[in-house]
Amino acid sequence: MNGQTVQTDDVRQDLVDRYPPIADHALVGDGETAALVGLDARVAWACLPRFDSPAVFASLLDADRGGRWDLPVRGLRGRHQHYLPSSAVLVTELTTDTGTLRVTDAMLLDGPLAERRSAATGAFGRLLEVTHGTVSVRSVLHRHDGAAVEGSVVPVPGGGEHRLHLSSSRPAEEEHELTAGDRWALTLSWNGGPLELDPDGLAGALGRTDEAWRDWSAGVRFEGAHADLVLRSAITLKLCDHHASGAVVAAPTSSLPEAVGGERNWDYRFTWVRDAAYTVYALRRIGMTQESDAFLDWVLEASTRGDSRPDVLYTLDGTFPEAEVEDGDFEGYRGSAPVRWGNGASGQLQHDVYGEILDCAYQFARHSGALTDERWERLEHLGRLAERHHLTPDQGIWEIRDTGRPFTYSVAMCQVAFDRLARLAELTGRSERGAHWRRLADDLRTELLERAWSEEDGCFTEHLDQPGTLDASLLALPLRRVVEAADPRMVATVEAVARKLSPGGGLLYRYLHADSPDGLEGNEGAFVLCSFWWVDNLVQSGRVQEGRELFESLVARVNHVGLLPEQVDPTTGEFLGNFPQAFSHIGLVSSAVLLARAEAAAD
């Protein structure tokens, strides 16, 4: 590890191996795409015009060739970054020897978030203003492929292209000495631009964008502890919400490593069926009903068409992703190769998908009360697939790249599939079919709890009939109504998971690679969502104070603007994996709501 403070283009950065910490970034977006902005105001990641488009800026994946948008200032001494209240408009303050520069960043919105369903025009606005003293600053923009911005084109998934255009109220790339009150407007536009905005025009557009976010945030409902972080998580999830389709990307980035220098680097700019049930449940509990309904409708439409088995993950358009490829042109974050585009897990067998979809369908029908005969037939088809495959090996929730195994979680989610079909039948007046699925659900639950329980280990195990291994997905069993959290067997399992999989600090590994081979080299960090599942188990089993203490230790790990990664290095606290991770914020929201309700009931 080579830690140092360096001066590059007069931008002072705290770097390790030439890269800033993942945690030193904030997210801006517009419902079609998103960008990461560093504490030094560098745009280090952006795919335009969509989440899954080729990267225009990717210096997080290659410091030299990745592309970036810098605002280098002379004599930088301090950096501070925050969001405007209840908003995704970002403010970065750069303090120099002679003054302070305030940079206000946002992907501009052309109307209320609830109405933004397409990207007729996309624009990233950056308003620079000196608040006191004098600051010398430049704008330096380099695309990762070396192409010029003016007149250049960006490929679009599915074919076609869009032009990029940079508008600047001052000569771009020239150094400008700005004094207190001076402003500089920069707008990178695509998909129908250009937008020629002077400082007053850009300030107005940023103000309207801020108003749109504040209006949307007013609909978030939560009054418990850490309401500010719950709202920030809701905004972050909204930034991962593809407005045009209703899909929610797992994260807006690709190939940020699960272990620095390792090969566990994946593209997360897709929608996992697995995420859907957890996501809609969390969103609905805090008033985000429009997003919940849109995601439910999207996932049911994408995953129940045709007669084949559903896929594990989908593109934003609900189609099968292109093949995973390794990009030899990028060195990877801090040398963590390979960089990958696409995700090979899309072709895996993961039998939990049946239960995930049917749980979504049950949530959908429970709130709408409607279920057409056509959709019911599609859902029963999924149930029949689960009936056929529920005891056959698969790659499991953690998407191992190794020989399939009979994972307890996968079998449990097939039980969930049968249970939700039974509930759906009862809910929608199809009682004659409900009896069949209820019998299957009850029989499989009995078999599962017998075969997953190990008297030798005194807990449930990762695989059926295979004592000696644990994985953190067992903590999800009570959350999916497979077993009660207060069941002594589940309480013992939570204790076993904490004892064997926790490196301390309230963190949990998903599993231990030495005990559970996954076909990959190296290790990974602790998985943030699993710790929130741990909180939920404690609360649901009556150990509310312990759950609160664990929750407090987790929310203390958010970065300077309230964002969470996929994983954390338990030794250093460093953020790892793709960032920000929707699943981590879903976990924060769900645990916060559960704690608030438990504590209110105890008063």
Instruction: Give pLDDT, residue 371.
Output: 83
Strand (E) or helix (H) holding 550: helix 544-555
Quickly count: other Cβ atoms within 10 Å of residue 319's Cβ.
12
Is pLDDT of 412 > 80? yes
Chain mean pLDDT for the chain: 91
Instruction: Give pLDDT, residue 281.
Output: 83
Residue-wise pLDDT tens digits, 353-391 = 999 999 988 988 888 767 889 889 989 999 999 999 999
Is pLDDT of 329 > 80? yes
Burial class (CB in 10 A: 0-12, 13-18, 19+), 14: middle
Residue-wise pLDDT tens digits, 341-351 = 999 999 898 99
Is pLDDT of 568 > 50? yes
Instruction: Give pLDDT, residue 463.
Output: 96
Residue-wise pLDDT tens digits, 131-171 = 999 999 999 999 887 666 665 556 656 555 677 889 999 99
Q: Average pLDDT in the 507-533 region?
A: 95
Instruction: Give pLDDT, residue 148.
Output: 60
Residue-wise pLDDT tens digits, 180-227 = 999 999 999 987 655 778 999 999 999 999 999 999 999 999 999 999
Q: 8: pLDDT confidence band, cut at 50, 70 and 90?
A: very low
Quickly count: other Cβ atoms within 10 Å of residue 257's Cβ.
27
Instruction: Give pLDDT, residue 467.
Output: 94
Helix axes 431-452, 373-389, angle to 10 degrees: 30
Is pLDDT of 292 > 90? no
Instruction: Give pLDDT, residue 2.
Output: 35
Q: 289: pLDDT confidence band, cut at 50, 70 and 90?
A: confident
Cβ proximity of 42 and 70 under 8 Å: yes
- Between CA 497 and CA 511 the distance in angstroms is 9
Which token pair is 181?
Answer: 């009150």
Residue-wise pLDDT tens digits, 38-55 = 999 999 999 999 999 999
Q: Which region, left, alpha or beta, applies to residue 128 given φ > 0 means left and ψ of -120 to 50 means alpha?
A: beta
Altogether, the residues listed in the chain come to a count of 603
CATH architecture of 22-217: Distorted Sandwich (2.70)
Instruction: Give pLDDT, residue 46.
Output: 97
Amino acid letter, 466: Q
3-state SS, one letter per residue, for 249-309? CCCCCECCCCCCCCCCCCECCCEEHHHHHHHHHHHHHCCCHHHHHHHHHHHHHHHCCCCCC
Helices (H) and strands (E) in the chain, counts: 12, 25
Strand (E) or helix (H) holding 379: helix 373-389
Collapsing DSSP to helix, strand or coil, 536 comes out as: helix
Instruction: Give pLDDT, residue 48.
Output: 92
- Between CA 555 and CA 228 the distance in angstroms is 11
Burial class (CB in 10 A: 0-12, 13-18, 19+), 21: middle
pTM of the model as a whole: 0.94
Cβ proximity of 108 and 78 under 8 Å: no
β-pairing verdict for 271-272 and 153-155: unpaired
SS3 content of the chain, % helix, strand, coil (to 5): 35, 20, 45
Instruction: Give pLDDT, residue 436.
Output: 95
